[in-house]
């Protein structure tokens, strides 16, 4: 039986199935996975995740009890859940990514969306079943008094469901996203909003990336549940139980990142990029093609900048890396098209025979991203809203002299705001001016700010971040 367990939708590995039926294993992607993988590998932690694809399902079906490590894979203790594809699809795409993600990132165009109809009620039932499958697996696997760390908006109901099955275990929930203020959170149907909040309050400890998101969660508990909130002590008491609220600002393991970024594949990408852009100044952005990342307004800001500052024509290049994400959702496919359209317009308007003002790359290429970070003069991170945004933290580690233009709505602004150039993500002119300011920032100031940004970015690396939450689950002495 296991003493420490982690549960998340996406696991540390994924499988692809080739035509001849062979399975290939790859490392899973995304912020949560990169944060947890290194840590969990070092410790004897059982990771419970969902099968996301046909490849994953084929691998699980050959593994005794879904334990991939028992089927000979070098994954560390790992149980993957084979949730029926239609249930998974409704829970992951329709509820988690289209509803809870949109609510917490304030992404709805409210005159037309959301509409919580009968179909949504069916999707919600799938979300409940998906959470129940996790709760059941965790209840089966947890040893007496085990500590169970549930991750993210996919699994908001699992803590209270698990508590129902196993009152002896200690449970934490961690939100890797922002949290919406009550007036936006209550777009959700009342019974759904209550279930989400009570689901998380089933945990002993509910963690957030910043004080702002923790405060928004407490506000929702007070306004929608009538819970008793103690903001000073950071506790929420509801129906006789108290949940402690924690703030754990995930940072980056600077040494590990730097070690990866000086490997030969990165160096050769650096040489190739340098060749491509010559001695132009580089404005870099690196994101998933994600609505909350605000890529379209970022490009619009670059266009404004080029219009307002013709002195930079021929001397600057914007490298925009926007990797594919969540392409099962039509909004994301349309967004990718909008990004490409906007990039094309900039090229049509400004490119000359010997100057390409913008290089947009929509293919996932990790070493190339690391190379771009290292070459950046300016790093642009302008999300509409973001739980933390690790790009803003990785940049200063890899490029000691790059200036950071950062949205004030990113969680990272709480820690990096003093040394970044903060922008309102909706203000395209303001962002354009910040880009200009970043480009002309004197060398000494860049280095000074860079030093402080790096210290803040590495203050709580994943190992410590994990240890803090594990410690928060120790029974009181």
- Contacts to ligand G6P by CB under 6 A: 10, 30-33, 152, 176-177, 325-326
* Cα gap 471→412, rounded to integer Å: 24
Distance of closest approach, residue 152 Cβ to ligand G6P, in angstroms: 4
Distance of closest approach, residue 177 Cβ to ligand G6P, in angstroms: 5
What is the distance between the terminal CA atoms of the chain, rounded to a whole angstrom? 24
Contact 407, 383 (CB under 8 A): yes
Q: Mention every residue, 6+ apart, whose C-beta is less than 8 A from residue 111.
A: none
Distance of closest approach, residue 160 Cβ to ligand G6P, in angstroms: 20
Of 247, 221, 260, 217, the residue nearest 373 (C-alpha): 260
* Cα gap 289→303, rounded to integer Å: 19
* Cα gap 140→214, rounded to integer Å: 31
Q: In what order do the strands lie in the sheet with 241-247?
A: 78-81, 46-50, 2-7, 142-151, 170-174, 205-208, 241-247, 235-238, 228-230
Distance of closest approach, residue 290 Cβ to ligand G6P, in angstroms: 8
| Burial class of residue 73 in the structure, from the number of CB atoms within 10 Å of its CB (0-12 exposed, 13-18 middle, 19+ buried) | middle
Distance of closest approach, residue 422 Cβ to ligand G6P, in angstroms: 22
Q: In terms of CB distance, is 28 or 254 closer to ligand G6P? A: 28
Q: What is the enclosing helix (H) or strand (E) of 187?
A: none
* Cα gap 19→141, rounded to integer Å: 34
Centre a 10 Å sphere on the Cβ of residue 314 and count the other Cβ atoms it contains: 14
Q: In terms of CB distance, is 265 or 365 closer to ligand G6P? A: 365
Distance of closest approach, residue 326 Cβ to ligand G6P, in angstroms: 5
Q: In terms of CB distance, is 50 or 376 closer to ligand G6P? A: 50
Distance of closest approach, residue 237 Cβ to ligand G6P, in angstroms: 27
Q: Would you list the DSSP string of 289-322?
A: S-GGG-HHHHHHHHHHHHHH-GGGTTTEEEEEEE
Q: Which two tokens stand for residue 134?
A: 């996790």
413: left (phi over 0), alpha (psi -120 to 50) or beta: alpha
Q: In terms of CB distance, is 172 or 280 closer to ligand G6P? A: 172
Distance of closest approach, residue 325 Cβ to ligand G6P, in angstroms: 6
């Amino acid at each position: 039986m296991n003493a420490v367990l982690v549960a998340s939708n996406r696991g540390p590995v994924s499988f692809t199935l080739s035509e001849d039926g062979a399975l290939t294993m790859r490392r899973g992607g995304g912020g949560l996975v990169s944060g947890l993988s290194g840590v969990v590998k070092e410790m004897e932690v059982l990771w419970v995740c969902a099968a996301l694809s046909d490849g994953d399902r084929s691998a699980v079906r050959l593994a005794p009890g879904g334990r991939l490590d028992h089927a000979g894979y070098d994954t560390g203790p790992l149980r993957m859940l084979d949730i029926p594809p239609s249930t998974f699809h409704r829970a992951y795409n329709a509820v988690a990514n289209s509803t809870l993600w949109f609510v917490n990132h304030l992404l709805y165009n409210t005159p037309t969306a959301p509409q919580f109809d009968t179909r949504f009620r069916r999707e919600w039932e799938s979300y409940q079943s998906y959470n129940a499958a996790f709760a059941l697996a965790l209840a089966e696997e947890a040893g007496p008094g085990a500590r169970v760390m549930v991750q993210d908006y996919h699994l908001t109901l699992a803590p209270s469901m698990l508590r129902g099955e196993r009152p002896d275990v200690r449970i934490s929930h961690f939100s890797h996203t922002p949290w919406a203020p009550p007036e936006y959170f209550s777009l959700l149907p009342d019974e759904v909003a209550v279930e989400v909040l009570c689901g998380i309050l089933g945990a002993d400890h509910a963690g957030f990336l910043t004080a702002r998101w923790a405060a928004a969660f407490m506000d929702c508990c007070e306004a929608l549940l009538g819970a008793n909130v103690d903001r000073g002590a950071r506790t929420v008491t509801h129906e006789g139980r108290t949940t402690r609220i924690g703030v754990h600002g995930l940072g980056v393991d600077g040494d590990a990142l730097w070690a990866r970024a000086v490997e030969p594949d990165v160096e050769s990408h650096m040489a190739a990029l340098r060749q491509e852009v010559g001695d132009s100044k580089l404005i870099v952005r690196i994101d998933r093609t994600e609505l909350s990342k605000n890529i379209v307004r970022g490009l619009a800001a670059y266009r404004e900048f080029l219009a307002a500052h013709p002195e930079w024509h021929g001397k600057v290049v914007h490298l925009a890396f926007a990797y594919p994400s969540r392409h099962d959702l039509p909004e994301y496919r349309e967004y990718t098209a909008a990004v490409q359209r906007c990039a094309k317009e900039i090229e049509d308007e400004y490119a000359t025979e010997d100057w390409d003002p913008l290089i947009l790359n929509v293919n996932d290429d990790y070493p190339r991203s690391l190379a771009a970070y290292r070459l950046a003069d300016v790093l642009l991170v302008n999300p509409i809203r973001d739980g933390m945004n690790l790009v803003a933290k990785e940049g200063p580690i890899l490029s000691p002299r790059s200036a950071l233009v950062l949205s004030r709505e990113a969680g990272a602004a709480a820690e990096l705001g003093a040394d970044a150039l903060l922008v309102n993500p909706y203000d395209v002119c303001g962002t354009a001016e910040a880009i200009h300011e970043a480009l002309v920032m004197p060398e000494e100031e860049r280095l000074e700010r860079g030093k402080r940004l790096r210290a803040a970015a590495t203050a709580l690396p994943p190992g410590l971040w994990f240890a803090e939450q594990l410690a928060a689950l120790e029974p009181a002495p």
